[in-house]
Each structure stands twice: as structure tokens, then as C-alpha cells.
Amino acid sequence: MKQEEFVLKHGSALCSRHLADATMAGVKDPHRIRVLVVDRILLPEDPNLADASKRIGILTEDTRCMGFGHALIIRVDAWNERELIVHNFVHIAQCERAGGLEQWCREYLGNRTNCAKFTVGSLEEEARDFAREICHAGAAA
Ligand SMILES: [Zn+2]
């Protein structure tokens, strides 16, 4: 995916706070992650792909943060939303576990489209639950 290469090349390394969160989210190689802060997350250029992304709900005009491969894109107004960022670290960890971005995508999409009722799927659930758990545990401490 071209976007991942772009972020890995132009993004910055994680600060210590984010490194700690990425490690907690299960990322094996948090030092490889690069972050890019943007004004707006762009939909894929290919109109068919853009359409599919919107339909499936992985990427819409309202997407504020997304993690894929070792790339993390954060919309500037989401920079302080720890839960959202942790959520995407979980996706990065899932990507590592799946053995790459392509395998992860396949698993993620299969996971969602195989469901009779269009549910969020277990990969999405894992990310949501984990992010909620560690952010709220932190707040309570
Ligand atoms: Zn997610």
C-alpha cells in the first residue's frame, strides 16, 4: 500500500508516551511505527476503492485516525484522543500478528462480511475493548 510507505518515510517516531501505549497494546516492534499528523485523512484515489472503503466503514470522511502496517495517521484534532490512538495501536499489533497488512485486511474484511448481521467483527471488537480498558483503568488510578 502506497500510503504505508509514505508514512514510514515521512512520519515521525513515537514519543515515549505513545511508545508505552503501543507496547501495552501488544505491538512487538513499536520503534518501527511512524506517525503522520494530517488535516484530513484522504480516501483512496481509486474511486472504486474509496467507495468500497466507505461502504465497509473502514475509512470515511469522518475517519480521524487509522493504523495500518507500522503506519499511523492521526487527524490533527484527534491528537489528544488516547483511546482512539490506542485503538489503532491494537490494529497495528493485529497486523504484525497476521503477518502483514494484506493478510490483516483480508482477515478484517472476511471477519466482517462473514457475519450474518453486519457486526463489527472480532478484530474491531478487540481494539475497542482494549482501548477502553486501558484508558479507563488509567483514568481511575
Ligand atoms: Zn478499529
Q: Cβ contacts of residue 92 below 8 Å, gap of 6+?
A: 22, 25, 27, 33, 67, 68, 69, 70, 72
Among 95, 91, 100, which residue's Cα sits nearest to residue 131?
91
CA distance 112 to 11: 30
Average pLDDT over residues 104-122: 70
Say what the pLDDT of residue 36 is. Answer: 94
pTM: predicted TM-score of the whole model, two decimal places: 0.83
Residues in the chain: 141
Among 93, 100, 80, 90, which residue's Cα sits nearest to residue 125?
90
Residue 88 Cα to ligand 1 midpoint, Å, equals 6
Q: Of 50-59, 60-69, 123-132, where does the model show the most confidence? A: 123-132
Residue 102 Cα to ligand 1 midpoint, Å, equals 16
Residue 67 Cα to ligand 1 midpoint, Å, equals 8
